[in-house]
Amino acid sequence: MPENSTNDGQAALFASIINFSADAIISKKLDGTITSWNKGAENLFGYLSEDILGKHISVLFPQELKKQEADILERVKEGKQVHHYEAERIKKDGSRIYVSVSLSPIKDASGSVAWVSKIARNVTERKRMEDQLQLSEKIYRTMAANLPGAVVTIVDRSGRFILAEGDGLKNLGYTKSDLENKLTREALDPTAATLVDANRQKAFNGEDISVDVAYKDRYYRAHYLPLRDEQGEVYAVMTISLDITEIKNVSAEIERINESLERKVEQRTGQLEQLNKELEAFSFSVSHDLRAPLRIISAYSEILEKDYTPVLDADGKKLINNIISNARRMSRLIDELLKLAKLGQKEIVKVKADMDEIVMEVISEQTSFIEKGIEFRKSNLLSAYCDVILMRQVWSNLISNAIKYSRAQEHQVIDISSVRKDGVVIYSVKDNGVGFNMRYSHKLFGVFQRLHSQSEYEGSGVGLALVQRIISKHGGSVWAEAEENKGATFFFSLPAKEGEYFSKTTNL
């Protein structure tokens, strides 16, 4: 085969390889005029050969980089090659890309540099990823620097520290330079390496891990977070370690205090149980030991009244009546004290109670022996969750007080109502009786505290204390408002429950 024919075949093969290369392969004169442009260049920059041949290479350059190209071209003119420098270029559509460029001088027959061969590869995606990684690293370092006592590390799949940051490093006995760009097994002591390897491997498998570890007399909470690329693959693990030594110490102290409190509660519970037993013994004593002589006094007094009234003068008869009256009062007082004592031991049983029904029964009981009529004004009362037996006692005491302290009025009026407000139901009993001075309202609910004398209004001085105790056991409050000779209103509240209702006011 003739030599020229062989050369022509090799040239054609060489041209075919260049034309169909994925990289952009371009040749240009020393003045920058483009002389060849392959398919790879068309795909990369968007220009067809017929559009770009003969034009100056600067059409691909951003304005701010034109001098950079001129400097590089001077090196090529000197016969030097330039390998893989990265620069920004402009496509036909105006968009910008990053390319990795290599330039080589092409010499003529005399050995002088006449042309420049240029190979460009698109590295835009890699450059974007690198920028993202740099931004991420900056964020991680900034975050770590602003977390007091924290340590932030990033380790790649080979086990090499990409990043180590945080003022907590000094407590671990390391510096950034001790860790960054080093393998875990090389940088950490065996104890520390063993602590982190297992959990880090779980993070590489896609798990988020949080563990508390003890190291060098301190406690750390370590969070292992898998870092994923756009395909969802874990390429590294970030570990955020927070020094929780103080938290652990405080928790231990709280546990110690709680144990101490539990022991004290047990002791106090035992003391309360003992007091309850003593209270039961006291109640038994009151019920039996005091009632026995009181029954004898009452019995002999009644015999004296029955058998000897005819022979007694007026003073004698008055004395016997006083004995009988005080014996009965003493008996009622004992009953009230027993109720108050037993209340502290009683477990309340709450059910949904019809307050209207309870109040109507109490009114019927209270007025059955009263000759003159009393006007009761009662709205339909809101229902409540309460102990029905104890609540009946509350209503009985409040209504009987209203009747008693308004009986001097020619026309007695008692208002009974309820309203829901701020998460509670408030009940009230209002009378038009003698009232009282609000300066002494603090005495109302104390045992044996009375604002009126026994001669004016009978009573034990225990009833309102009993009301206060019952409502308190239900989680409510009791209070009163009054003015002398203008009546009094007693209120009590109970926690509101779903299902309660409002109704119109009706008169009885």
CB 55 within 8 A of CB 32: no
Predicted local distance difference test score (pLDDT) of residue 104: 84
> Same domain for 312 and 440?
no
pLDDT band at 427 (very low <50, low <70, confident <90, very high): very high
> DSSP state, 160?
B
> Same domain for 365 and 478?
yes
Tens digit of each residue's pLDDT (9 = 90 or more) over 236-263: 898 888 888 888 888 888 888 888 888 8
Predicted local distance difference test score (pLDDT) of residue 344: 57
Last residue of a domain, one of 99, 122, 145: 122
> Same domain for 114 and 13?
yes
* 113: its two tokens: 């540099």
> Same domain for 383 and 482?
yes
- In degrees and rounded to multiples of 5, residue 72 shows phi and psi of -70, -40
Name which of 8-12, 242-246, 345-349, 368-372 the model is least confident about: 8-12
Predicted local distance difference test score (pLDDT) of residue 498: 43
Tens digit of each residue's pLDDT (9 = 90 or more) over 95-124: 998 888 888 888 887 878 888 888 888 888
User: Could you tell me which of 210, 141, 228 has the C-alpha nearest to residue 176?
Assistant: 141
> Same domain for 156 and 202?
yes
pLDDT band at 419 (very low <50, low <70, confident <90, very high): very high
Q: Tell the residue number behind the tokens 């938290």, with chain if given.
A: 247
Residue 386 CB-density burial (10 A; 0-12 exposed, 13-18 middle, 19+ buried): buried
> Same domain for 388 and 307?
no
- Give CA–CA dist 123/93, Å, rounded: 18
> Same domain for 190 and 204?
yes
335-363 average pLDDT score = 76
> Same domain for 501 and 379?
yes
3-state DSSP: the chain helix, strand, coil percent, rounded to 5?
45, 25, 25
CA torsion, points 356, 361, 363, 364, in degrees to nearest 10?
A: 140
Length of the chain: 508
Select the more confidently predicted residue: 216 or 36: 36
Last residue of a domain, one of 312, 343, 374: 343
Tens digit of each residue's pLDDT (9 = 90 or more) over 49-93: 888 899 988 888 888 877 777 777 777 777 788 888 888 889 999
87-90 contacts at long range (C-beta below 8 A, 24 or more positions apart): 88/62, 89/45, 89/60, 89/61, 89/62, 89/120, 90/59, 90/60, 90/61, 90/62
Last residue of a domain, one of 190, 225, 243: 243
CB 279 within 8 A of CB 345: yes
Q: Domain of 149: which CATH number?
A: 3.30.450.20
366-384 average pLDDT score = 82
> Same domain for 355 and 502?
yes
**Angle (CA) 407 410 411, round 5°:** 90
Predicted local distance difference test score (pLDDT) of residue 242: 85
DSSP secondary structure of 450-485: -SS-TTTS---S-HHHHHHHHHHHTT--EEEEE-TT
> Same domain for 334 and 296?
yes
DSSP secondary structure of 163-216: EEE-TTHHHHT--HHHHTTSBHHHHS-HHHHHHHHHHHHHHHTT--EEEEEEET
**Angle (CA) 9 12 16, round 5°:** 140
Please report, as a single letter, which amino acid is at residue 84. Answer: H
- Give CA–CA dist 285/293, Å, rounded: 12
Tens digit of each residue's pLDDT (9 = 90 or more) over 138-159: 777 777 677 777 888 888 888 8
> Same domain for 409 and 495?
yes
pLDDT band at 493 (very low <50, low <70, confident <90, very high): very high
124-139 average pLDDT score = 78
Predicted local distance difference test score (pLDDT) of residue 454: 46
Predicted local distance difference test score (pLDDT) of residue 62: 86
Q: Domain of 433: which CATH number?
A: 3.30.565.10
- Give CA–CA dist 245/24, Å, rounded: 60
Mean pLDDT of the chain: 78
Residue 141 CB-density burial (10 A; 0-12 exposed, 13-18 middle, 19+ buried): middle
> Same domain for 356 and 495?
yes
pLDDT band at 418 (very low <50, low <70, confident <90, very high): very high
pLDDT band at 350 (very low <50, low <70, confident <90, very high): confident
| Domain extent at residue 235 | 128-243
Report the domain count for the chain: 4
pTM of structure: 0.40
Write the CB contacts of 318 (distance below 8 Å, at least 6 apart in sequence).
none
Predicted local distance difference test score (pLDDT) of residue 405: 82
